[in-house]
Structure 1
């Protein structure tokens, strides 16, 4: 834990510190903690917390100054709550928004290249080989529906945390562009007698994980959300073309194929994958700590995407008859 603690710890922007004689209330983005003070060391504890509000002191300086406290333990507990970061002047280096986005893309490509080792049974490979089963194609449409239907809901919290007016408008336009796209998928599925609105369907675990991760990022780490969006919006023209060919090979009706192809064309035509790059272009500085968390968010989303490619094949392709996931 010691090695991972900030060298010059300071409370993150937005942490509220309310001190009482025997307790201190720390709040941050709807969370935080309540610290009960020991009478013998209460004054030092309050001084330490005040010093963390100002920042600038190293851990060693804090330990030397507050000898009656277990400073390292206190810092570890505060850091575990996500309340600490490094004082700005202590950051050894940083990144522009453009640099951060390019690092995020490289992490995405690296993760996807390695993901095949853990998820070798990909729907994309079966599409390219022309061996996908009809149930897998329908299953893909169902999972696609879940993503499109839930995307606006999980994005909404990010609108309240936009950095500036321009970024807020960019997020709002993206949000609005995603609204009602689920109707295209509903039209597609209805041609096969499937209505996910009237008869609720459950998403696969990986699909649920992707939407849940986006929701958590939107509410707690907007930078991570901005980076992860391109993972789901990345154009896949070869995949889409192969999907249509396999649908026609298996005599699925045009009314099923057309809305799915139309939605893919809309995403590509409106350059939805540019949303991450455009948002990061407006960011002047990304700290090394934030960069690490951004790369984690992108890796996580990429791994879930790869898992979805295999889960669709494993669940929907396991039987000749379509298996629906119902509550």
Structure 2
């Protein structure tokens, strides 16, 4: 998987209004909203000139590297760190300029997600199912991590109900939350079929990437509803070909039907409730999405996709090497 670069984040980065630059004897201090960071540099003049360019926001990243050649090798890293600290915004939005309707934004974010997945990730897990090289232990590990996400889903969705939304949107979110209740019981049956103890699964500790996916969704539900609405399709989109390959793999490798059937059943319930379209349904009620909000959501979508790829790798590295799967239960 390719790492996210500064050019993935911005076309022409600019310091946000209110950012203050304070020149120090060995670099710069950057103040913003009662918090600050310091950048130490041997080439103080070059650093100051680069910061001045970011104040103007009049150059693309390629132009910044040409303009500040002495600092060129450091520019990507500086931009990524400034963005992580919330110091940057976009000053050059691609055509068409301005706001998009929620529905148009949905279609663009779906296209962006598809392009990002195609460019940055190839599913080792799906390929392993297709060519029958997937370790049995990795498949059981996948079910354990999937169980954790499904069990946590209602609690992650619930914070979204705390926002002032139109009644129609509130009803949609309430229905979505209700449709996710108790689905973990199906996954308990699946894990029981492959001799995993299920009486203590409430103490299951997820892999770091699984926890990160859940935590980010919960944070967006509480703090950035637009990202929450836009990201749901990544978690809910049906994978018909995936579940066909899963069933075939299990049949051919002797894994009981009681394992894969509940997983497929859960996916079919998602289809029955049109969960794949939940993002479209929620976003269609939004009249306008600003250019900066579009950029923010794109970053969150890219981060979610990268975390999902990382989750696959962690499942392979942790569970895939075990001769007998041991759930991460440390109580």
Structure-1-length-normalised TM-score: 0.70
Match of 1:157 in 2: 159
1:117-160 CA distances to partner (integer Å, 9 max, x unpaired)?
xxx67111100112222112211111110110111111111111
Determine if the alignment matches structure 1 residue 320 to structure 2 residue 323.
Answer: yes
1:86-101 to 2 correspondences below 5 Å: 93-101=98-106
Partner residue in 2 for 1:249: 252
Q: What runs of 5+ residues in structure 2 fail to find an aligned partner?
A: 1-11, 19-31, 36-54, 57-84, 92-96
List per-residue Cα deviations over 1:189-238 (Å, max 9, x = no partner): 12233245525222112111110110111111000000010001111111
227 and 320 in structure 1: CA distance in 2 versus 1, 3 angstrom threshold: same
Q: Which residue of structure 2 aligns with residue 4 of structure 1?
A: 14
Q: Distance in 1 between matches of 2:199 and 2:101?
A: 44
Residue in 2 aligned with 1:259? Answer: 262
Contact 2:149 2:214 (8 Å CA) reproduced: yes
2:218 is the alignment partner of 1:215: yes
SS at match of 1:4: strand
User: Aligned runs of 1:47-66 on 2, under 5 Å?
Assistant: none
Aligned residue number for residue 204 of structure 2? 201
- Structure 1 segments unaligned to the other structure (5+ residues): 10-31, 36-58, 61-79, 87-91
Q: Is the 8 A contact 2:13 2:90 kept in 1?
A: no
Q: CA shift at 1:103, angstroms?
A: 1.8
SS of the residue 2:266 aligns to: helix
Which structure has the larger Rg over C-alpha atoms? 1
CA distance in 1, matches of 2:146, 2:320: 16
Aligned to 2:280: 277
- The alignment's C-alpha RMSD in Å is 2.9
Partners of 1:191 and 1:159 lie apart in 2 by 36
Q: Quick one: distance in 2 between partners of 1:115 and 1:244?
A: 27
Aligned counterparts of 1:226 and 1:114: Cα–Cα separation in 2? 24
What is the CA distance between 1:33 and its match in structure 2? 7.1
Residue 124 of structure 2: aligned partner: 122
1:300 CA displacement: 1.3
Q: Count residues in correspondence.
A: 254
Asked if residue 107 in structure 1 is aligned to residue 112 in structure 2, the reply is yes
User: Could you tell me the TM-score, scaled by structure 2's length?
Assistant: 0.70
After TM superposition, list the pairs within 5 Å mapping 1:62-73 onto structure 2.
none
Mapped partners of 2:90, 2:298: distance in 1: 17
CA contact (8 A) 1:228 1:276 kept: yes
Give CA deviations for 1:166-200 in whole Å, capped at 9, x if unaligned. 11111111111111111100111122332455252
The partner residue of 2:312 within 306, 309, 312 is: 309
Q: CA separation of 1:197/1:97 partners in 2, compared to 1, >3 Å: closer, same or farther?
A: farther
- Structure 1 residues 61-84: Cα deviation after superposition (integer angstroms, max 9, x where no partner): xxxxxxxxxxxxxxxxxxx679x9
